[in-house]
Amino acid sequence: MLDFHNHNKTRNTVVGFAVRRKVLLFFMLGAMVLLVARAFDLQVLRKQFLQQQGARRHVGAVEVAAYRGMILDRNGEPLAISSPVESIWVNPQELKNADQKDLRRMERLLGLPDGKIPDLMVPGSNKQFAYVKRRVNPHLADRVAALKLPGVNFEREFKRYYPAGPVSAHLVGFTDIDDTGQEGIELAYDTALKGSPGKKRVIRDGTRRIIGDIEAIKAPVDGEDVQLSIDQRIQYLAFRELQAGFIEHKARSAALIVLNAKTGDVLADVNQPSFNPNTRNNLKGSLYRNRAVTDVFEPGSTIKPFVIAAALDGGYVDPAAKFETHGIYRVGRNVVRDVHNYGTLNLMQVLKKSSNVAASMVALTMPRDYFWGIYHQLGFGNAAGVGFPGEASGSLLDYQNWNDFAQATLSFGYGLNASALQLARAYTALADDGILHSVSLLKRDQDNDAKRIFTAKTARKIRGMLEQVVMRDGTAFEARVDGYRVAGKTGTVKKISAQGGYTEKSYNAVFVGMAPASDPEIIIVVMVDEPSAGSYYGGLVAAPIFSKVMAGTLRLLGIAPDQYDTMPVLLAGHDEHQ
């Protein structure tokens, strides 16, 4: 009985083991079949899809920044250059795992306020990108990288640097944080300067860090260099002297243009007040304006040489004509006045004494359409065409809307306005024997758009008259330059009042001159807005600035003197500085 029971027990055990074995084998075979099927699905049926997904997760394309072109002066000196920097960004989702002490260390390295980096990790947010700091010095970026924080990444960029600082700031302009031009030449030629970025394929690790380059998809195309007409030596000289005059006379603003009289190239373009484009924190937008190109003013008596030239060229006045001024001149119901009663004046004395009365008499001898036509040909009322952002056109009322008094006031520079650049350009018609030049901020070999306005004989005659302005009894004795003959004209212009009409307290002091007067090479325009330290006449405020800049410019360019004896000094007293 016991043996039979034990036999059945043993048999049942064997049967149970066999069943379990079969079940196990079944599951093992099933698992193998599933693995084979899965492998077939992954490696055959879904191979392409998975490869694409894997590539998306571990292989990606990134942009390669292009080098922004340099801005150079006419001699190749850099005015704007780009240097490589690193921008630091983080993935907040990965940065959550970083040690708080390391985060504070990173903040101190980058000069960030405490808590700036933790603030990027907003609870519940899925944000995966945030800049920590842009344009960091590469050495500092290496120190941050040494912390080996999760989710911290680096992006190669370029930072713009301006070696001349405030000296050329208004002309060159600046770029924004993304290296896009915002003002000046940087804005005007942004497309050419910035080039186009490239692309490359890279491998990323599981934390999205770039761990290697695979191939270049598209090479970056570096920006083109832009070479300006500016001579940085003259630019610095002009900036220094204009700044000194601006401060001395406590002016509201000031602008100065230096022009090559033979080509129309702008050799210097400076303004006050200025700013440093390398550190632009808390600066007002008004400081960025290139006033010499974008701001206009009534040119005042600096326009009178063109009136005399137009009348002579058109045959409307005799070269020997004389004018009885009496200090006042009635034009209809209006009156034109001089500062003094200059009595009888010939044409040379009209410019030397800067008589509004005589200039009005000359202007009214000419037909309105002819008079307007000369002003129009000289460029008044039209932009000079240098392509600078915000370049001013100025204004010139159409002659069909004139009356006699309007024509008279236009003869001494009221009723029209122009920029310093436009005024400098107009004077090329006197400096280059009647040839008006176009103007350029880019270096060029010649002016292909030059045109004749006056005869050479008339232009030379006017230059001779303007030399008398710089004599002791003229209005601009302070404009003289030792060793050189100088021709020029002052302007002391009342400003328009906010209440209408002209104020008796605010003036623009202007001087335009050229040298050497025997064959002018250089034209300089100086405009000082609202000098308030006492003197406000163009001959006392703007002319001394002109003298210092012209003297330095002539020597820098090696232009030979044309006057070897002492400048003639007439014994007559120094007259009013209009």
Which of the two residues, 154 and 345, has the higher pLDDT score? 345
The SS3 call for residue 381 is coil
pLDDT tens digit sequence for 449-506: 999 999 999 999 999 999 999 998 889 999 999 999 999 999 999 998 877 788 888 9
Q: Check if CATH label 3.40.50.720 holds for domain 62-227.
A: no
Poorest-pLDDT segment among 113-127, 149-163, 321-335: 113-127
- Residue 420 is classified by DSSP as H
Q: What dihedral do alpha carbons 499, 500, 505, 510 form, nearest 10°? A: 140
Which of the two residues, 322 and 59, has the higher pLDDT score? 322
Residue 543 pLDDT:
96
pLDDT tens digit sequence for 251-280: 999 999 999 999 999 999 999 999 999 987
Q: Which residues are catalytic?
A: 301
Poorest-pLDDT segment among 62-76, 313-327, 406-420: 62-76
pLDDT bin (cut points 50, 70, 90) of residue 568 is very low
Give 232-278+288-556's CATH code, choosing from 3.90.660.10, 2.40.50.460, 1.10.240.10, 3.40.710.10: 3.40.710.10
Phi-psi region of 570 (alpha: psi -120 to 50; beta: other; left: phi over 0): beta
Cα 35 to chain centroid distance, Å, stands at 69
Residue 566: pLDDT above 60?
no
pLDDT tens digit sequence for 338-384: 989 999 999 999 999 999 999 999 999 999 999 999 999 999 999 99
DSSP string, 56-71: HHHEEEEEEPPPPPPE
Mean pLDDT value across the chain = 87
The SS3 call for residue 480 is coil
pLDDT bin (cut points 50, 70, 90) of residue 219 is confident
**CA–CA separation, 568 and 324 (whole Å):** 28
Q: Give the containing element (helix H, strand E) for 360.
A: helix 356-363
Phi-psi region of 415 (alpha: psi -120 to 50; beta: other; left: phi over 0): left
Residue 118 pLDDT:
76
Poorest-pLDDT segment among 67-81, 186-200, 407-421, 457-471: 186-200
Beta carbons within 10 angstroms of residue 293's beta carbon: 28
* Strongest mean pLDDT among 52-61, 385-394, 560-569: 385-394
pLDDT tens digit sequence for 521-534: 999 999 999 999 88
**CA–CA separation, 447 and 437 (whole Å):** 7
Residue 283 pLDDT:
73
Residue labelled with tokens 């048999």: 11
Q: C-alpha distances in angstroms, 252 versus 33, 169, 244, 418, 565? A: 90, 18, 13, 18, 39
Across the range 43-60, mean pLDDT stands at 62
Domain map (residue ranges) of the chain: 62-227, 232-278+288-556
Across the range 123-131, mean pLDDT stands at 72
Which of the two residues, 276 and 130, has the higher pLDDT score? 276
Residue labelled with tokens 């009635």: 330
Residue 189: pLDDT above 90?
yes
Residue 158 pLDDT:
83
pLDDT bin (cut points 50, 70, 90) of residue 285 is confident
pLDDT tens digit sequence for 62-97: 667 788 999 999 999 999 999 888 888 787 777 777
CB within 8 Å of 435: residues ≥ 6 apart = 428, 429, 450, 451, 452, 453
Residue 573 pLDDT:
38
Percentage of the chain exceeding pLDDT 90: 60
pLDDT bin (cut points 50, 70, 90) of residue 138 is confident
Which of the two residues, 465 and 574, has the higher pLDDT score? 465
| pTM of the entire predicted model | 0.82
- Residue 568 is classified by DSSP as P
What's the token pair of residue 197?
């970025």
Encode burial over 126-163: b for 16+ CB neighbours within 10 A, e otherwise: eeeebebbebbeeebbeebeeeebbbbbbbebbbbebe
Exposed/middle/buried for residue 58 (C-beta within 10 Å: 0-12, 13-18, 19+): middle
Dihedrals phi, psi of 461, to nearest 5 degrees: -65, -45
Across the range 222-236, mean pLDDT stands at 96
Residue 377 pLDDT:
97
Q: C-alpha distances in angstroms, 109 versus 3, 98, 112, 218? A: 88, 16, 8, 35
pLDDT bin (cut points 50, 70, 90) of residue 232 is very high
pLDDT bin (cut points 50, 70, 90) of residue 575 is very low
pLDDT bin (cut points 50, 70, 90) of residue 436 is very high
